[in-house]
Amino acid sequence: MSVVGKEEGEEQQVVNPWEVSAGKGGIDYDKLVDQFGCQRLDDALVARVARLTARPPHRFLRRGLFFAHRDLNEILDLYERGERFYLYTGRGPSSEALHLGHLIPFMFTKYLQDAFKVPLVIQLTDDEKFLWKNLTVEESKRLARENAKDIIACGFDVERTFIFSDFNYVGGAFYENMVKVARCVTYNKVVGIFGFSPEDHIGKISFPPVQAVPSFPSSFPHLFSGNDQLRCLIPCAIDQDPYFRMTRDVAPRIGYQKPSLIESRFFPALQGENTKMSASDPNSAIYVTDSVKEIKTKVNKYAFSGGQDSIELHRKLGANLDVDVPIKYLNFFLEDDNELEHIKKEYKEGRMLTGEVKQRLVAVLSELVARHQRARAQVTEEMVDAFMAVRPLPNMFG
């Protein structure tokens, strides 16, 4: 179980693939990095990515939103030598539509694919959602396909991207790797990593190898045949780290390279970092299906403000940016660094009011969501079939 210890009177911080909770101060990322044993992503690495790709670093990188990594330097070393790697990320399809937090890894992965010109595999863990949620197999598979449409709408290159659902793809070489991993991980080890209890059914306990083996190129013989040592880079939120700590421990024992990771902070719920975005509470998140009116209502009514209770106090004391959700959302989605810094300064010093910040956020999110909806409307069933077809990628490293 990924628990960061608590001081006297402090709530425990729990971070694992199925639960993220923190005390009043929000997630302590420094403690998390120390506990998980990953590395901080420093300015030198960000500058190196920019130099190697000959393009400005993504705002998620330059603003420290992707903040931790495992062996990213090794991926950059081999890329600098003219060697290649592939990307792997995923989605657990438990809702009809994605919210903005779900988009974060796909937006960043799209940037990585474009910048490094490398192939990408995207795993849809419909089996995981069947095991953890009250869903039928058929419903899990349907949601996987619907979520695939939102993922495709992010702009991935069909000639370099393979999207697969576990229910449809697991078998053959993929399954061989699963059982190799499974034989290397004891029951005690998996309980220690994931915090399973004796009441958990064995489907949960047996699932981690399924998420592990897309890290190994031999799991995709139609893509990487004869290239079993190709390195893998995984962009994900840091709550997924336990899966890949396990994977990195096992990989050398079964003759494979350890995957590298680049890991993001969590995207907060509208109500603040101490609450969780939940499908059961549609007002906790902005969804890619929301209308402009719904976005405006949610931001104005539910987005937690760091502003003061009255205009007079606000002019005098300014806003607390550390807890202000509109500022956090602008940090993710407002592209212009100069405008963002201007808003932060004016708001912090009380010259800009909460309503003005929220108004700017509504404009930014409305444009982003409208753009996504237009792209999503263009995604046909035939396009989904093309991305999910088991076939060689014609322009894999093009």
Per residue in 336-357, pLDDT (tens digit) is 999 999 999 999 999 999 999 9
Mean per-residue pLDDT, 248-277: 91
Q: For residue 85, what pLDDT is reported?
A: 97
Q: For residue 23, what pLDDT is reported?
A: 67
The letter for the amino acid at 273 is E
SS3 category, 205: helix
- Rg (the chain; Cα; Å): 21
Q: Given a cut of 90, is residue 100 above it in pLDDT?
A: yes
C-beta neighbour count of 280 within 10 angstroms: 5
Mean per-residue pLDDT, 160-183: 98
Instruction: Give percent above pLDDT 90 in the chain.
Output: 84
Handedness of CA 305, 309, 314, 320 (dihedral sign): negative
Q: For residue 383, what pLDDT is reported?
A: 98
Q: Given a cut of 70, is residue 7 above it in pLDDT?
A: no
Mean per-residue pLDDT, 289-298: 97
Could you tell me the pTM of the whole model? 0.94
pLDDT band at 5 (very low <50, low <70, confident <90, very high): very low
Q: For residue 11, what pLDDT is reported?
A: 61
The set of long-range contacts for 183-188, using a CB threshold of 8 Å and a minimum separation of 24, is: 184/249, 184/250, 184/253, 184/254, 185/209, 185/246, 185/250
Tokens of 19: 């639960």
Averaged confidence pLDDT in the chain: 93
Handedness of CA 44, 107, 33, 340 (dihedral sign): positive
For Cα atoms 12, 2, 249, give the angle at the middle one, nearest 5 degrees. 160
Do 67 and 29 form a contact (C-beta atoms < 8 A)?
yes
Q: How far apart are CA 160 and CA 191, in angstroms?
A: 36
Q: Which helix (H) or strand (E) holds 133?
A: none
Q: Given a cut of 70, is residue 194 above it in pLDDT?
A: yes
Q: Which helix (H) or strand (E) holds 122?
A: strand 120-124
241, 274, 360 from 12: Cα distances, Å:
19, 12, 35
Q: Which helix (H) or strand (E) holds 208?
A: helix 208-212
Q: How far apart are CA 384 and CA 142, in angstroms?
A: 12
pLDDT band at 310 (very low <50, low <70, confident <90, very high): very high
Beta strands, E only, 154-194: 161-165
The letter for the amino acid at 365 is L
Q: At what angle do helices 43-53 and 100-116 cross, to 10 degrees?
A: 50
Which residues have a Cβ under 8 Å from the Cβ of 339 and sit 6 or more positions away?
none
Per residue in 26-74, pLDDT (tens digit) is 788 888 888 889 999 999 999 999 999 999 999 999 999 999 999 999 9
Q: What is the largest CA-CA distance in the chain?
A: 69
Which residues have a Cβ under 8 Å from the Cβ of 170 and sit 6 or more positions away?
127, 178, 210
93, 123, 289 from 151: Cα distances, Å:
11, 11, 13
Q: Given a cut of 70, is residue 248 above it in pLDDT?
A: yes
Q: Given a cut of 80, is residue 165 above it in pLDDT?
A: yes
Q: For residue 243, what pLDDT is reported?
A: 95
Q: How far apart are CA 88 and CA 258, in angstroms?
A: 13
Q: In what order do the strands lie in the sheet with 39-40?
A: 39-40, 66-70, 260-264, 231-237, 85-91, 120-124, 161-165
SS3 category, 220: coil
Handedness of CA 270, 271, 275, 280 (dihedral sign): negative
pLDDT band at 273 (very low <50, low <70, confident <90, very high): confident
39 DSSP β-pair partners: 69
Mean per-residue pLDDT, 123-134: 96
Q: How far apart are CA 252 and CA 154, in angstroms?
A: 34
Q: For residue 345, what pLDDT is reported?
A: 98
Q: For residue 4, what pLDDT is reported?
A: 44
Work out whether strand 13-16 and strand 19-21 pair parallel, antiparallel, or are unpaired.
Answer: antiparallel
Q: How far apart are CA 26 and CA 275, in angstroms?
A: 9
The letter for the amino acid at 78 is L
